[in-house]
Amino acid sequence: MSRIIVITSGKGGVGKSTVTANLGTAIAQRGHQVALVDADFGLRNLDLLLGLENRVVYTAIEAIAGECRLEQALVKDKRQPGLVLLPAAQNRSKETVNPAQMRQLVSQLSQNYEYILIDCPAGIEMGFRNAIAPAQEAIVVTTPEVAAVRDADRAVGLLEANNIRIVNLVINRIKPEMVQMNDMMSVEDVLEILAVPLLGIIPDDERVIVASNRGEPLVLDEKLSLPAIAFNNIARRLEGDKVPFLDLMAAHNNLLNRIRRFFRS
Amino acid sequence: MISELLEQFFRWKRPVNSRSEARNRLKLVIAQDRSGLSSEALEAMRKEILEVVARYVEIEPSESEFSLESDDRMTALIANLPIKRVRPQIEPDSPIPSEASDSEE
Ligand SMILES: Nc1ncnc2c1ncn2[C@@H]1O[C@H](COP(=O)(O)OP(=O)(O)OP(=O)(O)O)[C@@H](O)[C@H]1O
Ligand SMILES: [Mg+2]
């Protein structure tokens, strides 16, 4: 039985694609067969984050239309043997696909892959409905900001209404220094409001942007950064490991960082 | 004396805590989002509840509070209606007094 997980958020730009790319790579590193499905039809991005943009020949659209076999549309990752990407079309709208076709596509993938991660587009319209249609589980990504949390709550409500009962939360872009100054909601604040089980917390970190510039997911780094450890921990928790959550506040306050801040200011 | 001064000083000094503002505003708007009620429906419901309650007890409409609260993904309607006095022997199906306080004498 494969696990079919949609990564969604409601609000745009909170880190769905970043989480999908890193989590997929981390799960593949742990020895699993993983397929990533870019469901953001019209705004394809996942290929770029994975550094696979030059290898895209066919997309999900051609596979659905029967213009190519599904295997032909899958792009194999150059670094991770267990990882493939099913790219979205770049210049066709979300309306060209329907939920039944998405279900059919993913059920075909599930014959060969243990994990199927679906990167959902922003919003709660057609693209959202397509992306969640095949899913059994969901990861809701949010940031500790009012609009993102409110939209995450809407997404959670819609997932429940669509009988997706396993819903977990990832809180992205936490800035410990702002939380400490009482200028950002903490992980506990967000959890209290959303009341969804926590799967992971990821610090706001410039290296996430650098990694996307390069098309090299952070979890591939030899020396793992804090956000990379956070992504790896999420992969382990998905498999049922009990991994304690990173203490970002403590990491922020360790002596070395305090000295660094002192000299910077 | 001094402690009072200090307290005032610190209250003045303390920057507005945007974290708790975010939390409180979110709680309200999310409770309303979850209920699926429009603000018009909420207002209509408030009026009708007040009317029914006014048949049995005298309340002060301006002091009554209605709010939606969410806890653990359950939404509750919380009404806080301070009672001024209980109306003497009114039958449950007697007509609704037009105004809570004007109807006497
Ligand atoms: N933890 C982080 N620290 C710093 N930057 C981040 C972090 N997470 C995401 N970002 C940046 O935020 C931007 C949006 O991320 P991403 O594209 O993953 O979001 P998305 O939810 O997929 O957006 P969309 O809704 O448009 O699909 C990117 O520029 C990304 O590099
Ligand atoms: Mg995206």
- How many distinct structural domains can be found in chain B? 1
Nearest residue by C-alpha to atom 23 in ligand 1:
A13
Interface check for B33 against chain A (CB to CB < 8 A): the answer is: yes
Ligand nearest to the CA of A230: 1
- A8 contacts A160 by C-beta, under 8 angstroms: no
| φ and ψ of B20, to 5 deg | -75, -30
User: Higher confidence at residue A145 or residue B63?
Assistant: A145
- What mean pLDDT value characterizes chain B? 75
Q: Hey, is A241 helix, strand or coil?
A: coil
- What mean pLDDT value characterizes chain A? 95
Contacts of B18 in chain A (CB under 8 A): 182-183
User: In B1-105, where does DSSP find H-type helix?
Assistant: 2-13, 18-35, 39-54
Q: Hey, is B24 helix, strand or coil?
A: helix
Interval A9-34 mean pLDDT? 98
Q: Is residue B26 part of a domain?
A: no
Buried b (16+ CB within 10 A) or exposed e, A236-251: bbbeeeeeeebebeee
Buried b (16+ CB within 10 A) or exposed e, B42-80: eeeebeeebeebbbeebbeeeebeeebebeeeebeeeee
Are A182 and B73 within 8 A, CB to CB?
A: no
Confidence band of B103 (pLDDT split at 50, 70, 90)? very low
CA A64 to chain CA centroid, Å, is 23
Given this model, what pLDDT does residue B102 score? 47
Are A182 and B17 within 8 A, CB to CB?
A: yes
Q: Is residue B70 part of a domain?
A: yes
Given this model, what pLDDT does residue B22 score? 95
Are B22 and A145 within 8 A, CB to CB?
A: yes
Residue of chain A whose alpha carbon sits nearest to that of B29: A150
Instruction: Name which of B19, B70, B72 is nearest A185 (Cβ-Cβ).
Output: B19
pLDDT at A264 over 90: no
Crossing angle (nearest 10°) for helices A146-161 and B18-35: 30
Q: Is residue B23 part of a domain?
A: no
Q: Is residue B15 part of a domain?
A: no
Interval B5-16 mean pLDDT? 56
In angstroms, what separates the C-alpha of B62 from chain A's closest C-alpha?
29
Instruction: Name which of A183, A192, A195 is nearest B19 (Cβ-Cβ).
Output: A183
DSSP lists the bridge partners of residue A83 as A34
- A125 contacts A13 by C-beta, under 8 angstroms: no
Q: Is the CB of A227 under 6 A from ligand 1?
A: yes
Given this model, what pLDDT does residue B2 score? 59
Q: What distance in Å separates the CA atoms of residue A86 and residue A61, rounded to the nearest whole number?
A: 10
Interval A205-231 mean pLDDT? 97
Q: What distance in Å separates the CA atoms of residue A84 and residue A113, rounded to the nearest whole number?
A: 9
Given this model, what pLDDT does residue B99 score? 52
Instruction: Note the ipTM here.
Output: 0.82
pLDDT at B26 over 90: yes
In angstroms, what separates the C-alpha of A198 from chain B's closest C-alpha?
14
pLDDT at B9 over 60: no
Q: What is the pLDDT of residues A109-151, one digit of tens each?
A: 999 999 999 999 999 999 999 999 999 999 999 999 999 999 9
Q: Is residue B71 part of a domain?
A: yes
> What is the count of residue pairs from A and B with beta carbons less than 8 Å apart?
44
Task: Scan for tokens 């267990």, then name that residue.
Answer: A82
pLDDT at B74 over 80: no
Given this model, what pLDDT does residue A252 score? 82
Atom of ligand 1 nearest to the CA of A209: 31
- A48 contacts A215 by C-beta, under 8 angstroms: yes
Residue of chain A whose alpha carbon sits nearest to that of B25: A146
Residue A84's contacts (CB-CB under 8 Å, 6 or more residues apart) are A34, A35, A36, A74, A75, A76, A77, A113
Domain that holds residue B56: 37-105
Interface check for B17 against chain A (CB to CB < 8 A): the answer is: yes
Given this model, what pLDDT does residue B65 score? 80
Q: Is residue B22 part of a domain?
A: no
User: Higher confidence at residue B93 or residue A255?
Assistant: A255
Number of residues that make up chain A: 265
Given this model, what pLDDT does residue A222 score? 94
Which amino acid is located at A92 in the chain? R
Confidence band of B63 (pLDDT split at 50, 70, 90)? confident
pLDDT at A82 over 70: yes
Q: List, in order of start, the domains of chain A with CATH numbers.
A: 3-264 (3.40.50.300)
Interval A213-241 mean pLDDT? 97
pLDDT at B15 over 70: no
Q: Is residue B4 part of a domain?
A: no
pTM (two decimals): 0.84
Q: Is the CB of A20 under 6 A from ligand 1?
A: no
pLDDT at A95 over 90: no
Given this model, what pLDDT does residue A96 score? 81
Residue of A63, A93, A91, A65 whose CA lies nearest to A75: A63
Distance A178 CA to ligand 1 centre (A): 19
Judged by average pLDDT, the poorest of A41-55, A80-94, A201-215, B66-80 is B66-80
